[in-house]
Amino acid sequence: MGDLSIVYNKTHNNILISNTWINHYNLFYNFILKSNILNNNLKILEIGGGNNYLAELLLKDIKRYYILEPNVTNKNKDIVYIEEWLETYISYSNYDILILSHVLEHLYNPSEIFKFKSKYICISIPYLKKYVENIFMNVLNIEHTFYYDEIHIINLFLNNHYKLINNDYYFEHSIFMIFEYENNINLNETKLVYNNKIKSNINNIFDNFFKEIINIKNKINLLLNNNLNDKYAIFPCNHYIQYLFIFGLEIHKIDYLFDNNINKFDKILYGTNLICKNLDFFSNNKIKMILIGSLYNLEILDALKLNNIEYFIF
Three-state SS string across 204-262, please?
HHHHHHHHHHHHHHHHHHHHHHHCCCCCEEEECCCHHHHHHHHCCCCHHHCCEEECCCH
Same-domain check for residues 47 and 63: yes
- Express each pLDDT in 6-54 by its tens digit: 777 666 555 656 889 999 999 999 999 999 999 989 999 999 987 899 9
Strands 174-181 and 162-170: antiparallel
User: What's the confidence (pLDDT) of residue 9?
Assistant: 67
Same-domain check for residues 176 and 111: yes
Same-domain check for residues 156 and 207: no
The 3-class secondary structure across the chain, one letter per residue, is CCCHHHHCCCCCCCCCCCHHHHHHHHHHHHHHHHCCCCCCCCEEEEECCCCCHHHHHHCCCCCEEEEECCCCCCCCCCEEEECCCCCCCCCCCECCEEEEECCHHHCCCHHHHHHCECCEEEEEEECHHHHHHCCCCCCCCCCCCCCCCHHHHHHHHHCCCEEEEEEEEECCCEEEEEEEECCCCCHHHHCCCCCHHHHHHHHHHHHHHHHHHHHHHHHHHHHHHHCCCCCEEEECCCHHHHHHHHCCCCHHHCCEEECCCHHHCCCECCCCCCEEECHHHHHHCCCEEEECCHHHHHHCHHHHHHCCCCEEEC
Same-domain check for residues 109 and 28: yes
User: What's the confidence (pLDDT) of residue 141?
Assistant: 85
- End position of a domain, from candidates 146, 176, 193: 193
Same-domain check for residues 299 and 161: no
CB of 1 within 8 A of CB of 145? yes
Same-domain check for residues 177 and 274: no
Same-domain check for residues 227 and 176: no
User: How many domains are there within the chain?
Assistant: 2
Range of the domain at 23: 4-193
Indicate the pTM of the whole model.
0.90
Same-domain check for residues 18 and 150: yes
User: What's the confidence (pLDDT) of residue 195?
Assistant: 56
> Which domain CATH number covers 279?
3.40.50.720
The distance of Cα 274 from the centroid of its chain, to the nearest Å, equals 23
User: What's the confidence (pLDDT) of residue 93?
Assistant: 83
- End position of a domain, from candidates 165, 193, 221: 193
Burial class (CB in 10 A: 0-12, 13-18, 19+), 186: exposed
- End position of a domain, from candidates 147, 178, 193: 193
Q: Which residues of the chain have pLDDT under 50?
A: none
> Which domain CATH number covers 26?
3.40.50.150
Same-domain check for residues 172 and 240: no
User: What's the confidence (pLDDT) of residue 193?
Assistant: 58
Same-domain check for residues 266 and 247: yes
Same-domain check for residues 154 and 214: no
Same-domain check for residues 178 and 306: no
Dist CA 260 CA 310 (whole Å): 17
